[in-house]
Structure 1
Amino acid sequence: MFQTEWMEAAGHTQRPKILAVLHQERSSTGRVGQLLLEAGFVLDIRRPPLGDPLPDTLENHAGAVIFGGPMSANDPEEYIRRETDWLSVPLAEEKPFLGICLGAQMLSNHLGGKVSPHPDGLVEIGWYPLQPTEAGRTLMDWPSMVYHFHREGFELPKSATLLATGNTYANQAFRYGKNAWGVQFHAELTRAMMQRWVVRGSERFSLCGAQQGRDHLEGRMIHDAVLKAWLQRFLGIVFGAPVAA
Structure 2
Amino acid sequence: MSDRKKPVLIILHQERSTPGRVGQLLMQKHFPLDIRRPALGDGLPETLENHSGAVVFGGPMSANDNEDYVRREINWLDVPLKENRPFLGICLGAQMLARQLGAKVYGNHDGSVEIGWYPIEATNNGRMLMKWPSMVYQFHREGFELPHGAELLARGDLYPNQAYRYGKRAYGVQFHAELTRMMMQSWVVRGASRFTLPKAQPGSAHLEGRMLHDRALKAWLDNFLDIVFDEAG
- TM-score bracket, normalised by the shorter chain, equals over 0.9
8 Å contact kept, 1:99–1:183: yes
Gaps of 5+ in 2: none
Name the structure 2 match of 1:167.
157
Which letter maps to 1:188? E
Q: TM-score, normalised by structure 2?
A: 0.97
- C-alpha displacement of 1:16: 1.4
Q: 1:216 aligns with which of 200, 206, 214?
A: 206
Name the structure 2 match of 1:204.
194
What are the residue-to-residue correspondences of 1:97-176 with 2, within 5 Å?
A: 97-176=87-166
Kindly tell me the number of residue pairs found equivalent between the two proteins. 231
- C-alpha displacement of 1:14: 4.6
RMSD: 1.2
State the distance in 1 between where 2:3 and 2:187 align. Answer: 37
Name the structure 2 match of 1:237.
227
State the distance in 2 between where 1:101 and 1:167 align. Answer: 16
State the distance in 2 between where 1:49 and 1:159 align. Answer: 30
Name the structure 1 match of 2:55.
65
8 Å contact kept, 1:49–1:79: yes
State the distance in 2 between where 1:175 and 1:234 align. Answer: 12
- C-alpha displacement of 1:13: 6.3
Please state if 1:177 is matched with 2:167. yes
State the distance in 2 between where 1:222 and 1:13 align. Answer: 35
- C-alpha displacement of 1:15: 3.4
What are the residue-to-residue correspondences of 1:10-25 with 2, within 5 Å?
A: 14-25=4-15
Which letter maps to 1:130? I
Deviations 1:122-153 (A, max 9, x none): 00000000100000011111000000000000
8 Å contact kept, 1:16–1:40: no
Which letter maps to 1:99? G
Partner SS state of residue 215, structure 2: helix
Partner SS state of residue 147, structure 2: coil
Gaps of 5+ in 1: 1-11
The runs of 4+ residues in structure 1 deviating greater than 2 Å are 12-15
Q: TM-score, normalised by structure 1?
A: 0.93
8 Å contact kept, 1:39–1:241: no
State the distance in 2 between where 1:190 and 1:46 align. Answer: 20
Deviations 1:176-203 (A, max 9, x none): 0010000000000000000000000000
